[in-house]
Amino acid sequence: MLCAKRAQLHAEGLSLSCQDEWFARPGITDLRKLIRDVPDFPQPGILFKDITPLLAEPAGLALSIELMAQPFRGRDIDAVVGAESRGFIFGTALANALSVGFIPIRKPGKLPWRTRKQEYSLEYGTDKFEVHEDALLAGQNVLLVDDVLATGGTLEACCRLIRGLGANVYAISVLIELSALAGREKVREYQVHSVLRY
């Protein structure tokens, strides 16, 4: 199944430059069917995009990873960075797909070594992130990965942590972008690749 999907994607000439054409393709439609809308979670007024049905479907998960990784194959990526917790799911898979290491960004108190900290805003509150101060080398090119680009606060904080260590944010890859929340504006200086837009 995955090999057939990869062959189909290659035959259709998918690349970052034709990203907007992806949204009308059959595989993308299939992925949308695996995203469940949960109203009023985690608080009233929030429509939560639940990815757990997609994660449980082997073909859907494999296609998601392929579509998130494909534009960055053969690029000068030194590491993938993902934020706790759903960024770990996709980040480790993309790191494996791109044959690079994975760097976790975690909530406070979860990392055992000396850390850098960054506060960020969510669509429903604030929180903090930490990363080991020796996690990245100066000048390394990083692909930042998460499941959703919503208000952009999470990814903006991650970008600040990465740059604070002297590394470069090569690009950002997400499965879902909630366009109405305009999160792309907070990370507009970076290349952003989203597989699904709502």
Q: Mean pLDDT score of the chain, rounded to an integer? A: 88
**Annotated catalytic, 130?**
no
Distance from chain centroid for Cα 180: 18
CA atoms in the 13 A half-sphere facing the CB of 54: 27
User: Can you give the pLDDT at residue 111?
Assistant: 97
Q: Which position among 6, 25, 86, 106 bears the catalytic label?
A: 86
Question: Is residue 43 pLDDT above 50, yes or no?
Answer: yes
- Kindly indicate the confidence band of residue 76, based on its pLDDT and cuts at 50, 70 and 90: very high
**Annotated catalytic, 123?**
yes
Question: Is residue 44 pLDDT above 60, yes or no?
Answer: yes
Please answer whether residues 93 and 102 qualify as being in contact, where contact means their C-beta atoms are separated by less than 8 angstroms. Answer: no
142 against 125, higher pLDDT: 142
For the whole model, what pTM was predicted? Answer: 0.84
- Kindly indicate the confidence band of residue 9, based on its pLDDT and cuts at 50, 70 and 90: very low
What is the C-alpha to C-alpha distance for residues 67 and 51, in angstroms, rounded to an integer?
Answer: 15
User: Can you give the pLDDT at residue 42?
Assistant: 87
Question: Is residue 7 pLDDT above 60, yes or no?
Answer: no
pLDDT digits (tens, 9 = 90+) for 137-168: 999 999 999 999 998 999 999 999 999 999 99
CB atoms within 10 A of CB 112: 7
Question: Is residue 14 pLDDT above 90, yes or no?
Answer: no
User: Can you give the pLDDT at residue 19?
Assistant: 47
Q: Which position among 57, 84, 123, 133 bears the catalytic label?
A: 123
